[in-house]
């Protein structure tokens, strides 16, 4: 993929109204991208903040990523308004910390539907547009819980493991269309979801086992996503899952 200027690049970010998704919108917009912020709930304060910071380059869309027809309509509308989509970031997702024996089938289905099926629907619809217009790049949000057996993450971890493998398959199948596909596997990050799910005991455990002894910031994940979407900086990177985790997946026994 080549572009004659940053103004030609349009990206769609699901879950773009908070946490890692919102930080990614800031990072990409600062790099000159036009952004479609797709989320189930976009607060007016977020609209005002982004609209003021990046006038004329942000569009907002309410989206349920599990609604196939809504996803297709959004992709078509984005292409009509902003031109060809060159970047997709699938940041929409939910999680739970629930012991294995307490995890119900309904919990599992809900997490899988949003995290995996939602990612599949968004990337498939977006990749069709990319394939017809010269290519692009996709970044899926996985997690270190898809790489390690974190306690309480049977449903969430399974969904993120599925995203990791989906990313590999997509990268292989879409390479002939000049579409790169990678995944980010964040460690513990200071997001609204972490604030809601992580008890003081959980936070202490993460802080003890992460070699850098801290939670990451959404901006640290977003800058890595921006790198993976940038054709000039990551043109030979595809099919990878990059753990941005303060060294957690590299660590063994931590003193």
- HEC letters along the chain: CCCCCHHHCEEEEECCCCHHHHHHHHHHHHCCCEEEEEECCCCHHHHHHHHHHCCCCEEEEECCCCCHHHHHHHHHHHHHHHCCEEEEEECCCCCCCECHHHCCHHHHHHHHHHHHHHHHHHHHHHHHHHHHHCCEEEEEECCHHHCCCCCCEHHHHHHHHHHHHHHHHHHHHHHHHCEEEEEEEECCECCHHHHHHCCHHHHHHHHHHCCCCCCECHHHHHHHHHHHHCHHHHCCCCCCEEEECCCHHHCCCCC
Q: How far is CA 183 from CA 4, 59, 246, in A?
A: 26, 24, 17
Tell me which residues are annotated as active site: 156
């Amino acid at each position: 993929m080549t572009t004659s200027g940053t103004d030609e690049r349009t990206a769609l970010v699901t879950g773009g109204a908070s946490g890692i998704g919102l930080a990614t919108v800031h990072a990409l917009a600062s790099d000159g991208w036009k952004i479609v912020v797709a989320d189930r709930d976009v607060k007016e304060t977020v609209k005002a903040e982004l609209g003021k910071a990046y006038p004329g380059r942000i569009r907002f869309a309410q989206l349920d990523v599990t609604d196939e027809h809504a996803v297709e309509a959004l992709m078509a509308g984005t292409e009509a308004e902003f031109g060809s989509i060159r970047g997709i970031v699938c940041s929409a997702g939910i999680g739970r910390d629930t012991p294995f024996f307490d995890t119900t089938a309904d919990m599992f289905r809900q997490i899988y539907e949003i995290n995996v099926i939602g990612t599949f629907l968004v990337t498939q619809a977006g990749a069709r547009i990319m394939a017809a217009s010269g290519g692009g790049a996709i970044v899926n949000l996985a997690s270190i819980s898809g790489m390690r057996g974190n306690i309480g993450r049977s449903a969430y971890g399974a969904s993120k493991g599925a995203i990791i493998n989906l990313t590999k398959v997509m990268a292989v199948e879409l390479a002939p269309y000049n579409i790169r596909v990678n995944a980010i596997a964040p460690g513990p990050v200071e997001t609204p979801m972490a604030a809601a799910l992580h008890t003081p005991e959980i936070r202490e455990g993460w802080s003890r086992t992460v070699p850098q002894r801290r939670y990451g910031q959404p901006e640290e994940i977003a800058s890595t996503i921006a790198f993976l979407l940038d054709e000039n900086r990551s043109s030979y990177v595809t099919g990878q899952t990059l753990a941005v985790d303060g060294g957690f997946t590299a660590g063994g026994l931590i003193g």
